[in-house]
């Protein structure tokens, strides 16, 4: 059986796909890959469908061993994956392109140099059990992925059968391709979405239902201030500190529907940005919503990073999402990894 072995586990690596968005009305979190653009890109690069299961590594990565020849793709955060040769020499594994690795290859991922979450796809996807229509790991409930938990040293992950093989992957043995010990890769890369720049990250938002209930000073501070992503942040949400916001009236509210990207304001005045594993409902005021086109950028923000919010209209948010989807499709088409039809 073709498997990927975890020789050394990283800080927090899980198996993810596109999650369970169709079950939110039953109280099930969406889950899935935090950076869905990088997830879909990695799958496209190896010929998988967008919903195939991938590995999501956070801040530091694992050491993996491949039992058989495999086509892989690494996207998202730069964890400087390397292969160590027989004589101790290290070869950096190129990212954002398909890579053919030989049987027995070991790849060691390091601490992130830039970004927060790295995505690793393998042709055929990770063949773990389907739970409620998804293979994604939901840690708080202990379901999905591999035993409902983060990966540990000694785990073995079975791979599915590779299906459609794009022409560019079939040509990976051509002589003109980049060569190094244990791997083959084309000389180009595909990266339609850049990692957040150093310094302050700007996230675009639309106003939420309760924004108008902020005090006048807090309305101004929301746009002018830089908020720091606290270390108390995870896949459920980011706690933002630095500027405390206040409502005109601190009245109790019934729980209402929220979405990934919603900015809630708890009584302490420090906003919370809801992420992939957030609950479908919440009782805190909803002051803004990060637009869908910026959620992958948000997923790559590390604790300690500053963020600032920029207002856009709903029409602009739709246009920016369409452009992001078009850019992703166009990149894969140009690389001969997606049909033009």
In the chain, the N- to C-terminal Cα span, in Å, equals 35
What is the rounded distance in angstroms from the CA atom of residue 124 to the CA atom of residue 58?
23
- Same-domain check for residues 224 and 310: yes
pLDDT, tens digit, for every residue of 270-295?
999 999 999 999 999 999 999 999 99
Report the candidate in 126, 135, 137 with the shortest Cα–Cα distance to residue 162.
126
- Same-domain check for residues 177 and 234: no
The full DSSP string for 32-73 is S-SSHHHHHHHHHHHT--TTS-EEEEESB--EEEESS-EEEE
36-46 vs 314-334: helix crossing angle, rounded to 10:
20
pLDDT, tens digit, for every residue of 239-264?
999 999 999 987 777 889 999 999 99
pLDDT, tens digit, for every residue of 108-146?
999 999 999 999 999 999 999 999 999 999 999 999 999
How many percent of the chain have pLDDT more than 90?
77
CB contact set of 258 (below 8 Å; sequence gap of 6+) = 264, 274, 278, 279, 280, 281, 282, 286
What is the rounded distance in angstroms from the CA atom of residue 341 to the CA atom of residue 330?
12
Cα–Cα distances (Å) from 40 to 29, 228, 294, 328, in that order, read 20, 29, 15, 9
- Same-domain check for residues 109 and 239: no
What is the extent of the structural domain holding 316?
201-323
Mean predicted confidence (pLDDT) in 33-60: 96
Mean predicted confidence (pLDDT) in 162-179: 63
Residue 333 falls inside a structural domain? no
Mean of per-residue pLDDT scores for the chain: 91
Structure tokens at 136: 């994604």
Residue 164 binned pLDDT confidence (cut-offs 50, 70, 90): low
Structure tokens at 259: 């979405």
- Same-domain check for residues 210 and 261: yes
Residue 301 binned pLDDT confidence (cut-offs 50, 70, 90): very high
Q: Is residue 317 over pLDDT 50?
A: yes
Note the Cα 8 to chain centre separation in Å. Answer: 21
DSSP 176: T
| Residue 165 confidence (pLDDT) | 66
Mean predicted confidence (pLDDT) in 308-314: 98
Domain count, the chain: 2
Residue 266 sits in a domain whose CATH number is 2.40.100.10
- Same-domain check for residues 139 and 214: no
- In the listed set 120, 155, 185, which residue is the last one of a domain according to the structure? 185
């Amino acid at each position: 059986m073709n498997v990927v072995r975890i020789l050394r586990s990283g800080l927090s690596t899980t198996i993810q796909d596109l999650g369970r968005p169709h079950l939110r009305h039953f109280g099930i979190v969406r889950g899935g890959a935090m950076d869905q653009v990088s997830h879909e890109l990695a799958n496209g690069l190896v010929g998988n469908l967008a919903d195939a299961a991938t590995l999501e590594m956070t801040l530091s990565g694992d050491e993996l061993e491949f039992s058989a020849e495999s086509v892989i793709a690494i996207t998202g955060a730069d964890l400087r994956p390397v292969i160590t040769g027989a004589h101790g020499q290290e070869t950096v594994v190129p990212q954002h392109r398909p890579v053919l690795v030989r049987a027995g290859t070991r790849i060691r991922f390091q601490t992130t140099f830039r970004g927060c979450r790295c995505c690793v796809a393998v042709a055929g996807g990770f063949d773990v059990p389907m739970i409620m229509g998804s293979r994604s790991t939901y840690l708080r409930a202990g379901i999905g992925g591999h035993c409902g938990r983060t990966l540990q040293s000694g785990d073995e992950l079975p791979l599915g059968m590779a299906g459609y093989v794009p022409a560019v992957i079939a040509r990976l043995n051509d002589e003109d391709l980049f060569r190094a010990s244990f791997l083959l890769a084309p000389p180009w890369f595909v990266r339609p979405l850049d990692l957040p720049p150093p310094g302050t990250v700007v996230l675009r938002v639309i106003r939420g239902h309760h924004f108008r209930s902020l005090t006048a000073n807090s309305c101004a501070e929301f746009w002018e201030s830089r908020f720091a992503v606290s270390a108390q942040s995870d896949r459920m949400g980011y706690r933002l500190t630095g500027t405390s916001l206040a409502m005109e009236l601190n009245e109790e509210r019934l729980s209402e529907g929220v979405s990934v990207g919603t900015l809630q304001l708890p009584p302490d005045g420090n906003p919370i940005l809801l992420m992939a594993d957030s609950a479908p409902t919440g009782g805190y005021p909803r002051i803004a919503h990060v637009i869908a086109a910026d959620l992958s950028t948000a997923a790559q923000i590390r604790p300690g990073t500053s963020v600032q919010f920029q207002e856009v209209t709903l029409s602009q948010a739709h246009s920016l999402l369409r452009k992001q989807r078009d850019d992703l499709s166009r990149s894969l088409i140009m690389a001969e990894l997606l049909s033009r039809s």
